[in-house]
């Protein structure tokens, strides 16, 4: 096999070395346009997981790396003049130049033909002449651009400027320091990579960079200015560069990683922000996977397909974490008012990879101090601290999210609803929410949707609330009121979600006469008289909800239903007083809110669910979401339930663990409003992390409560908690400990006898 490698960074070099080691008969040629010792940056951090893979694949490289690694455990966060240290993290780093030297030596010893200071031939020529072409030519990959139509690259620039520098002394910890300047906050990321040197990255928002005058400074002046700003962290020492310049980070994503016999590797295929230290790690792991797949598969096409199948989920997860991390630093201004210790916890958990539970295992002293500062009583996880909304005190921070069940008959909730909601109330959550309860017959999503537009329906709901209050004392139950708008008159979810009914359709109303998707029924635009009718339907339903005994009322202004349709510019094309500017688009939802608030008991709280983004170009922006939240709060909302999407059929959500929580986080900090976070929050560890970091006040979980109605009780048991934040129903107390399983504590060998 003849293999061409474009690019002499760590990924390209390691791929070449592995392929040659696995089969010495391979003819491998690597082109690197720079000299052997030309490199960007200074230090490289690798994880124990990556090092383990290297050790198994090539002990020679691993041993050379091991001799040069600098290791440390601590992270220092300096904020508002206060330093907090968290330990137990475990890092290993070495100089990038030394890493390249080790890989150069290994490649040359194995017989790889490395051509320094030489541009690679065009990829078409290489593809014709070689069996495999590995494009490891970096974030600005010319190979990727040459085959852009095949690879489908998407490159996103971000909002911070950064510069990669070094200091001639070793930090004794990974150091994050925030400098408050007259131009705005600037941050330092620093870590040791040798016995006498540290990497220092200085980063700040683009507008701060410009206001501080860095744009006009010569490189030497710029570096000197950075050293003065962070003089205390640097102990008064200067910084040095290696042709360093200010730049912006670019996130690279590709639809495909191979084209014919050409494959992308490392930054050419994907990038991950330096704040989680994963660029070199990902490139090295790519090389390991590619080499393994070439060994395991019978030919190159199947090997490249297997390589992408194996690596893409791992890379996607890392990129989600990296994006969360870089956005945290972009938006750190919103956290500046947090207490320093909570700020430090927030920073450490920013990517959602480090969580409350594993941080507690790494450094129980630090995490315990954060909990005490937050107000957690001894032995109480953050999720089991109480939270007050108006006259209602929730005993814990867990909410059973509204979930449409499509199981009502003529809008009347029946035995299914009693068992469904009753079971989850017995399961320990602080607040259990109904599904969206429709305010009129024509406001239903499906024929199976529950309502509150008749006295019979209200009576049936009273049966549910009575059960919750009597059998699950301490659990609150809330009702979510809504109107389907243009998304109504559809089939039950399991018969075809959002698909029109085959027969028996009813007319639809919406902000504008726009069908939800091709094939959907076209709604009529609400007239002024119909707006009044709908508002009165909400008012009547709220009055019935109060009589039915609900503790909290939520107004559904999300997911493309009627009120949401007024808020989004993609679904509201009106030219009257209810369309146009955001202020006008808010007008009708606020009129409905005011009418409902007027009849809802003053001591009972009201929340509003919104879609903070439409996940579509031209839709609701982050600024819009904050303004919408502020508007409802000004009218008396007690909290905002922050969801996203489902407004337009052509949306492109960025799914992932806790993927909607950043929107709640922004609204909470920028608008100063209590929020409920939703969206793929799946573990009690996630809940504790989000609450303690101050990113949300309450967490709403849906699917976990379908999987386990007693999710909150089990979360308490698994954490060894038995306090006032949760209560096992008397008949269930015998099950408050996890059942025993098979034995796992067999005696371990105590002696190893020599041969």
Active site residues: 561
> Which residue's entry shows tokens 């209560």?
727
Of 475, 355, 375, 463, which is closest to residue 419 (Cα–Cα)? 463
Angle (CA) 396 401 406, round 5°: 145
Report the run of H or E that residue 69 belongs to, with start and end. Answer: none
Of 476, 478, 482, which is closest to residue 534 (Cα–Cα)? 482
Residues 6+ apart with CB under 8 A from 495: none
Q: How far apart are CA 448 and CA 484, in angstroms?
A: 13
500 to 439, 480, 647: CA distances (angstroms): 20, 24, 17
- What is 116-159 written as a DSSP string? ET-PPPPHHHHHHH-SEEEE---TT-HHHHHTHHHH-EEEEEEE
Phi/psi-derived region of residue 277, left when phi > 0, alpha when psi is between -120 and 50, beta in every other case: left
Q: Which two tokens stand for residue 541?
A: 């339903």
Question: Does residue 517 contact residue 487 with C-beta atoms inside 8 Å?
Answer: no
Q: How far apart are CA 553 and CA 636, in angstroms?
A: 12
Question: Does residue 624 contact residue 582 with C-beta atoms inside 8 Å?
Answer: yes
Report helix, strand and coil shares of the chain as percent, to nearest 5.
40, 20, 40
Q: How many alpha carbons lie under 13 Å from residue 437 in its C-beta half-sphere?
A: 29
The torsion of the CA quartet 283, 286, 292, 293, rounded to 10 degrees, works out to -150
Q: Which two tokens stand for residue 396?
A: 């814990």
């Amino acid at each position: 096999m003849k293999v061409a490698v474009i690019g002499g960074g760590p990924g390209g070099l390691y791929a070449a070395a592995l392929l040659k080691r696995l089969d010495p008969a391979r003819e491998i040629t690597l082109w690197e346009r720079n000299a052997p010792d030309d490199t960007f940056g200074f230090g490289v951090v690798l994880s124990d997981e990556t090092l383990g893979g290297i050790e198994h694949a090539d002990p020679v490289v691993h041993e050379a790396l091991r001799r040069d690694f600098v290791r440390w455990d601590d992270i220092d966060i300096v904020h508002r003049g206060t330093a907090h240290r968290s330990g137990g993290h475990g890092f290993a780093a070495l100089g990038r130049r030394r890493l390249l030297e080790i890989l150069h030596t290994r490649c040359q010893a194995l017989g790889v033909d490395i051509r320094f200071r030489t541009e690679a031939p065009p990829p078409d020529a290489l593809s014709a002449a070689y069996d495999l072409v590995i494009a490891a030519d970096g974030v600005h990959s010319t190979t990727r651009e040459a085959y852009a139509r095949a690879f489908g690259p998407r490159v996103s620039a971000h909002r911070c400027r950064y510069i990669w520098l070094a200091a001639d002394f070793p930090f004794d910890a990974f150091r994050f320091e925030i400098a408050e300047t007259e131009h705005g906050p600037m941050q330092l990321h620093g870590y040791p990579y040798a016995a006498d040197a540290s990497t220092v990255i200085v980063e700040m928002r683009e507008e701060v960079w410009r206001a501080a005058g860095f744009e006009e400074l010569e490189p030497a002046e710029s570096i000197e200015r950075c050293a003065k700003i962070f003089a205390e962290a640097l102990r008064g020492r200067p910084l040095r560069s290696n042709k360093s310049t200010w730049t912006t980070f670019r996130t690279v994503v590709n639809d495909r990683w191979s084209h014919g016999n050409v494959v992308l590797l490392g930054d050419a295929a994907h990038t991950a922000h330096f704040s989680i230290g994963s660029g070199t790690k990902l490139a090295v792991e790519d090389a390991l996977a590619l080499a393994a797949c070439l060994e395991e598969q019978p030919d190159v096409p199947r090997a490249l397909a297997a390589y992408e199948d194996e690596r893409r989920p791992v890379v996607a997860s890392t990129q989600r974490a990296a994006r969360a991390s870089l956005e945290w630093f972009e938006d750190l201004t919103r956290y500046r008012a947090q207490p320093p210790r909570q700020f430090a916890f927030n920073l450490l958990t920013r990517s959602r990879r480090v969580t409350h539970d594993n941080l507690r295992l790494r450094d129980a002293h630090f995490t315990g101090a954060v909990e005490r500062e937050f107000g957690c009583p001894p032995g109480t996880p953050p999720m089991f601290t109480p939270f007050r909304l108006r006259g209602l005190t929730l005993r814990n921070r867990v909410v059973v999210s509204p979930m449409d069940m499509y199981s009502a008959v003529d809008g009347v909730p029946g035995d299914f609803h009693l068992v469904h909601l009753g079971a989850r109330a017995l399961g320990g959550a602080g607040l259990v929410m109904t599904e969206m309860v429709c305010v009129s017959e024509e406001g239903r999503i499906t024929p199976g949707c529950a309502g509150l537009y008749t006295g019979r329906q209200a009576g049936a709901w009273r049966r549910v609330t009575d059960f919750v209050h009597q059998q699950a004392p301490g659990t609150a139950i809330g009702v979510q009121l809504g109107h389907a708008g243009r998304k109504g008159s559809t089939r039950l979810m399991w018969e075809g979600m959002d698909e029109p009914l085959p027969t028996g359709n009813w007319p639809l109303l919406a902000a504008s006469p726009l069908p939800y998707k091709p094939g959907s029924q076209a709604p009529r635009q609400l007239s002024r008289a119909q707006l009044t009718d709908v508002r009165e339907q909400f008012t009547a339903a709220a009055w019935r909800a109060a009589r039915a005994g609900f503790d909290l009322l939520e107004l559904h202004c999300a997911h493309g239903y009627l009120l949401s349709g007024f808020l989004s510019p993609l679904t509201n094309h009106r030219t009257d007083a209810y369309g146009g500017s955001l202020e006008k688009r808010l007008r009708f939802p606020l009129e409905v809110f005011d009418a409902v608030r007027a009849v809802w008991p003053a001591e009972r709280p009201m929340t509003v669910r919104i879609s903070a983004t439409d996940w579509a170009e031209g839709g609701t922006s982050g600024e819009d979401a904050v303004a919408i939240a502020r508007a409802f709060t000004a009218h008396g909302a007690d909290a905002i339930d922050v969801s996203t999407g489902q407004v337009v059929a052509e949306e492109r959500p960025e799914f992932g663990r806790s993927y909607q929580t950043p929107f709640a986080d922004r609204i909470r900090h920028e608008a100063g409003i209590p929020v409920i976070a939703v969206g793929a929050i799946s573990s009690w560890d996630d809940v504790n992390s989000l609450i303690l970091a101050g990113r949300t006040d309450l967490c709403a979980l849906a699917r976990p409560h379908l999987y386990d109605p007693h999710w909150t009780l089990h979360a308490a048991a698994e954490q060894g908690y038995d306090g006032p934040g949760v209560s096992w129903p008397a008949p269930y107390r015998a099950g408050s400990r996890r059942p025993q399983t098979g034995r796992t504590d067999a005696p371990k060998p105590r002696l190893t006898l020599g041969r």
